[in-house]
Amino acid sequence: MLNRLRAKIREEYFKWGGIKLEPGLNHIDGGIVRKSKSAVVSIGNCFSIRKYAILNVSENGILMIGRNVFINYGTKINVRDSVNIGDNCIIGQDVLIYDHDHDYKSENRRDNFVNAPVSIGKNVWIGSDVIILKGTSIGDNAVIAAGSIVKGEVPANTLYYRKLGESQMKDISDC
């Protein structure tokens, strides 16, 4: 009963912080959502986020999370531009999603960024320890193998894995 009360308090805290949280069964188990005043965060129902997961949305950033999305322990999503996660996605432990890089050519590398949106389709399964970089688009029903680094386009119905500097994509629509 105490856990349900804590979850309800967290849910209300999200709403007070200007985060649009669809009504429904949401399981917020210690995950943190930080948003600036000008940022937009919208989360569908049946959302579940585990402890030590952090969603950080900076000035003018947009984070859209669909329905029935699960985010596991230690995942970090940092938004300066936009990140869109479709319905029915499973995001494994310690995943990193960034829609920006530091502009290493700038004199002020600390505060200057290069941004590009990240889009994750519906029914996507992202394994543990995956890194998703700016400008990435992952199609519906894709599976991203644990430990992969993803940049660019991953077509729908694809198993994507990257090991030791080589990336592989395999059509899984017939599996």
CB 85 within 8 A of CB 41: no
Residues near 136 by beta carbon (within 8 Å), at least 6 away in sequence: 118, 119, 150, 151, 152, 153, 154
CB 130 within 8 A of CB 92: yes
Determine which helix (DSSP H) or strand (DSSP E) holds 164, and give its type and residue range. Answer: none
**Could you give the CA distance from residue 104 to residue 35 in angstroms, rounded to a whole number?**
25
- Does residue 102 carry a catalytic annotation? yes
- Per-residue b/e over 131-144, b at no fewer than 16 CB within 10 Å? bbbbbbbbbbbbbb
- From the candidates 102, 109, 163, 170, give the one annotated as an active-site residue: 102
Residues near 98 by beta carbon (within 8 Å), at least 6 away in sequence: 78, 118, 131, 132, 133, 134
The SS3 assignment for 3 reads: helix
**Could you give the CA distance from residue 74 to residue 47 in angstroms, rounded to a whole number?**
16
Indicate which residues carry an active-site annotation: 102
